[in-house]
Structure 1
Amino acid sequence: MKTTIKTILFIFYLFALPNIVLAQCNEYTKKECIPKLTPYTFNGQLNNAVLSEGETAELQLTFYKDQEYRILVEGEESLGKIQFQLFDTDYNLLYDNADEDHTNLWDFMVESTDDFVIRVLVPEDQKKERIESGCVSILVGFRAFGSRTIFK
């Protein structure tokens, strides 16, 4: 009887734990990251994942002509400085935030509508005995070209 209860509890935790972790990651993204897109409009897609040190994730997105974009890649502090890169679909490197001291924001425009790949790399800390993991968010904001508020 005790074995059956333990087995049922184990199966419950096995299925419930990923949902709990993902829910926490969604809350982190909503509260900590989305406000940093201002003055750009959030595109409404929550792109986040729980990553561990040394892991890489990729996301393919379409960017449209005549729009200005802001990419925000934000990770929890325990992960250190997150690296992100933008590639075209042939994997030609277009941008690497490592060239700009691992900034978490990048504003840009595209000349024509096209698909691009964002690659996120979580650095490995060789000094730590335990591998850290945490939430990493990739968010996109946009605004129509020329819609900036100009102060005189």
Structure 2
Amino acid sequence: MRKTITAILLIFHLFALPNIVLAQCNEYTKKECIPQLTPYTFNGQLNNAVLSEGETAELQLTFYKDQEYRILVEGEDALGKIQFQLFDTDYNLLYDNADEGHTKLWDFMVESTDDFVIRILIPEDKQKAQIESGCVSILIGFRAFGSRTIFK
């Protein structure tokens, strides 16, 4: 009987824990990150994940002509400075926030509608004994007209 109860609890934790962590990440994104897109309009897609030091994640998105965009990549403090890069679909590097002091916001405009890849890199802190993990949010805001940087 005791083994059955232990097995049931173990199965519950295996299925419930990822949902609890994801729900906390969604709340972090809604409360801490979405307001930072102002004056841009949030596109409505919650792109977030729990990542650990040394991990990389990618997200492919379509950006449309005649829209100005703001990319926000925000992570919990335990993760340190997060690097993000923008590539075209052939993986030609178009932008790297490491060149601008690891800024978490970047505004740009595309010359024509196209797909792009955003790569997120979580730095590894070799000074720490334990690997940290935390929520990372990748949010997109948009508005019509104006530009900071234009890509063909």
Question: TM-score category by the smaller chain?
Answer: over 0.9
How far 1:118 sits from its partner (Å)? 0.1
Residue aligning to 2:34 = 34
Q: Alignment partner of 1:17: what SS?
A: helix
SS at match of 1:30: helix
**Which portions of structure 1, spanning 4 or more consecutive aligned residues, are displaced by more than 2 angstroms?**
none
Deviations 1:54-101 (A, max 9, x none): 000000000000000000000000000000000000000000000000
Q: Gaps (5+ residues) in structure 2?
A: 147-152
Could you tell me how far 1:134 is from its partner in structure 2?
0.2
- Residues of 1 paired with 2:53 and 2:59: CA distance? 18
Quote how far apart the aligned CAs of 1:53 are.
0.1
- Residue 21 of structure 1 corresponds to 21
Q: Which one-letter code corresponds to 2:145 in the other structure?
A: F
CA distance in structure 1 between the partners assigned to 2:131 and 2:68 by the alignment:
37
Matches within 5 A, 1:105-124: 105-124=105-124
Counterparts of 1:105 and 1:144, CA distance in 2: 18
Distance 2:102 2:39 in 1: 21
Separation (CA, whole Å) in 1 of partners of 2:112 and 2:129: 47
1:37 maps to a residue whose letter is L
Q: Could you tell me how far apart the structure 2 residues matched to 1:64 and 1:145 are?
A: 11
- Secondary structure in 2 aligned to 1:127? coil
The aligned counterpart of 1:48 is 48
Match of 1:141 in 2: 141
Percentage of matched positions with identical amino acids: 88
State TM-score, norm by structure 2. Answer: 0.95
Partners of 2:4 and 2:114 lie apart in 1 by: 54
Aligned to 1:149: none
Local SS of the residue matching 2:62: strand
RMSD: 0.5
Aligned length: 146
CA distance in 2, matches of 1:143, 1:21: 32
Distance 1:60 1:10 in 2: 35
With normalisation by structure 1, the TM-score equals 0.95
CA distance in 1, matches of 2:115, 2:93: 13
